[in-house]
A = this chain, B = another copy of it.
Amino acid sequence: MARKILVTGMAGQIGQILCRELSATYDFVGIDRKPTPSGLPEDFHVAEIADFDAIRPRFDGVDTVIHLGADPSPRASWDSVLDNNIIGTRNVFEAAREAGVRRVVFASSNHVVGYYPMKDDPYRAVYEGRLADIRHPIEPLTATHLRPDSYYGVSKAFGESLGSYFHDAFGLSVICMRIGWVMTPDDPSFSAAALSLWLSHADAARFIEKCIEAPKHVGFAIVHGMSDNELRIWEKDDTRRIVGFDPEDGAGETWIERPGAPKPI
């Protein structure tokens, strides 16, 4: 029998990718604050995750929660982050605990370490496309780095801490995905930062499937979801070891190396 997977934020970009790529594999239930666009599962519910009572019934019988629901903007106000990302995320973990869900896969973000590439070389040189200034090999950013660049980034770090607590206190399996940049259209060639951060649609679906299927002994982990980009600055070995994710796509850096070359987008 297919796993029953509850996706919060299902009407968003990544939710729709999951629905398109993995509907044959899983039995999806969706929650979102937005009314359903086309292409979502029949079992879809409009609800605010900040409202515990409104979302709680959807967790019964669920195997895995994919928690994508959030104000996704790094420019989000404190009030919006507080309701949607902090209170909402606590509600999702608490509802999962109450309902006896097996695992929560939480959408964290590169923004929990966003000030490294905004401030410090060599990461900053990567984001700015100053390839000549980069000394290789770059020491990758890992699960123990933390330097949020916004209230949004702080809220994602909060969700990781909360997941660690729910794992240790209640035995809930929690995998936090530090996601790079999933974009539509699925082409990162418009900037060096995008070439570094890119997670292709196909890799996003593969990555999340790996997080759902990771072995039972994975109790708590923070892993990285970026494609195999030449300008990648986040670890990939830990992620491969823990959940078995090997990206199949990857962005080169060729366009940057040709000064004056027209940017594809």
A binding-site residues for B, Cβ under 8 Å? 78, 82, 86-87, 90, 94, 112, 115, 118-119, 144-151, 153-154, 157-158, 161-162, 164-165, 168-169
Distance between Cα atoms of A112 and B165 in the complex (Å): 10
Q: Hey, which chain B residues are within 8 Å of A161, CB to CB?
A: 112, 146, 148, 153-154, 157-158
Distance between Cα atoms of A119 and B158 in the complex (Å): 22
Instruction: Looking at the assembled complex, report how far the CB atom of A4 sits from the nearest CB atom of chain B, in whole angstroms.
Output: 27
Per a CB cutoff under 8 Å, which of B78, B94, B146, B151 touches A164? B146
B78 touches A90 (CB 8 A): yes
Chain B: CB-nearest residue to A220: B147
Q: Hey, which chain B residues are within 8 Å of A168, CB to CB?
A: 115, 118-119, 147, 149
Q: Hey, which chain B residues are within 8 Å of A86, CB to CB?
A: 82, 86
Instruction: Looking at the assembled complex, report how far the CB atom of A160 sits from the nearest CB atom of chain B, in whole angstroms.
Output: 8
Distance between Cα atoms of A157 and B86 in the complex (Å): 13
Chain B: CB-nearest residue to A163: B154
Distance between Cα atoms of A115 and B164 in the complex (Å): 9
User: How many copies make up the complex?
Assistant: 2
B144 touches A165 (CB 8 A): no
Per a CB cutoff under 8 Å, which of B82, B153, B165 touches A165? B153
A86-B86, A90-B78 are known contacts. Are A154 and B165 too (CB-CB below 8 A)?
A: yes
Per a CB cutoff under 8 Å, which of B112, B158, B164 touches A158? B158
Chain B: CB-nearest residue to A156: B161
B149 touches A165 (CB 8 A): yes
Q: Hey, which chain B residues are within 8 Å of A144, CB to CB?
A: 144-146
Distance between Cα atoms of A43 and B142 in the complex (Å): 46
Q: Hey, which chain B residues are within 8 Å of A151, CB to CB?
A: 165
- Contacts A82-B90, A144-B146, A146-B164 aside, 15 further interface pairs with beta carbons under 8 A come to A78-B94, A86-B86, A115-B168, A144-B144, A146-B146, A147-B168, A148-B161, A148-B164, A150-B165, A154-B158, A154-B161, A154-B162, A154-B165, A158-B158, A158-B161
Instruction: Looking at the assembled complex, report how far the CB atom of A52 sits from the nearest CB atom of chain B, in whole angstroms.
Output: 10
Q: Hey, which chain B residues are within 8 Å of A157, CB to CB?
A: 157-158, 161
Instruction: Looking at the assembled complex, report how far the CB atom of A88 sits from the nearest CB atom of chain B, in whole angstroms.
Output: 12
